[in-house]
Amino acid sequence: MNKSKTELFTSGVGQSESNAIVGYGFSTEYSPLLAKITKSFKSWSAKLLSFAGRLELLKTVIFGTVNFWISAFVLPKGCIKEIESICSRFLWSGNIDRRGIAKVAWSTVCLSKDEGGLGLRSFVVWNQVLCLKFIWLLLSRSPSLWADWYWHTHLAEDSFWKIEPSANDSWAWRKLLDLRPLAVQFCKTTLGNGLATSFWYDVWTPLGQLSTVM
């Protein structure tokens, strides 16, 4: 296959499979995001920006761009790791082609200033937070074509908290299911007449999910 004349579209692949596809030279669905960020950094690297200036550009332009994507998609860990690596190189040197020059770990940089960091947002944590928003859309039955499709396809007969992932499920759906232990801590069902409530799996008592305590 001629990679310069071929585009590969995938569905339901895991992180290792996605990395293998990239290793063969094919772009992924997140390549436009990485390309846009890289282009911005390269245009700025020619300018004599101070450390404070580079930090401000990260907080505004770059984080705004990434936030748009992670508001709509579950980004793979490999993609987030690559973005953070590019951001780290730009922050410390102003040149994304220079490696191994970070003075502080990126996880520390993303701490609040009170905790010794620079107040940048962790993409990993923020992606999880926005994924929890997708779970809220599902459970609240908000008017949404996306939510309606998942209810029709996956949740017509099973509780979101009970359903088991299958090999045929999309990667994004499996990632949402993986977040259930975190999401359940923030969910509570209003009982009402009980018709829309799962007795065993919804959180409608102070005990939490009855399936875990009975």
| Residues 6+ positions from 140 with CB-CB distance below 8 Å | none
| Residues 6+ positions from 207 with CB-CB distance below 8 Å | 213
Domain total of the chain: 2
Position 126 scores a pLDDT of: 86
In a domain, 147, yes or no: yes
In a domain, 132, yes or no: no
In a domain, 22, yes or no: no
In a domain, 2, yes or no: no
Position 5 scores a pLDDT of: 65
pLDDT of residue 166 exceeding 60: yes
Together in a domain, 85 and 155: no
Together in a domain, 169 and 207: yes
Nearest-angstrom CA–CA distance, 122 and 106: 9
What does the block give as tokens for 88? 């780290």
Position 78 scores a pLDDT of: 82
Q: Which of 12-21, 28-37, 118-127, 188-197 is predicted least confidently?
A: 12-21
Together in a domain, 151 and 180: yes
Nearest-angstrom CA–CA distance, 175 and 205: 27
pTM: 0.69
Domain edge (last residue) among 68, 92, 122: 122
pLDDT of residue 45 exceeding 80: no
Range of the domain at 37: 31-122
- pLDDT tens digits, one per residue of 3-37: 666 666 665 566 666 666 666 655 566 788 888 88
Nearest-angstrom CA–CA distance, 26 and 13: 14
Position 154 scores a pLDDT of: 87
Together in a domain, 35 and 112: yes
Together in a domain, 95 and 158: no
pLDDT of residue 147 exceeding 60: yes
Domain edge (last residue) among 122, 157, 184: 122
Closest-CA residue to 12 (of 128, 138, 165): 165
Question: What are the helix and strand counts (H, E) for the chain?
Answer: 10, 0
Position 15 scores a pLDDT of: 60
Domain edge (last residue) among 122, 149, 175: 122
- pLDDT tens digits, one per residue of 64-113: 888 888 887 778 888 888 899 889 988 888 888 877 677 888 889 889 88
- pLDDT tens digits, one per residue of 104-115: 888 898 898 888
Together in a domain, 80 and 35: yes
Interval 43-71 mean pLDDT = 84
Together in a domain, 35 and 101: yes
Nearest-angstrom CA–CA distance, 103 and 3: 38
Position 19 scores a pLDDT of: 63
Together in a domain, 40 and 80: yes
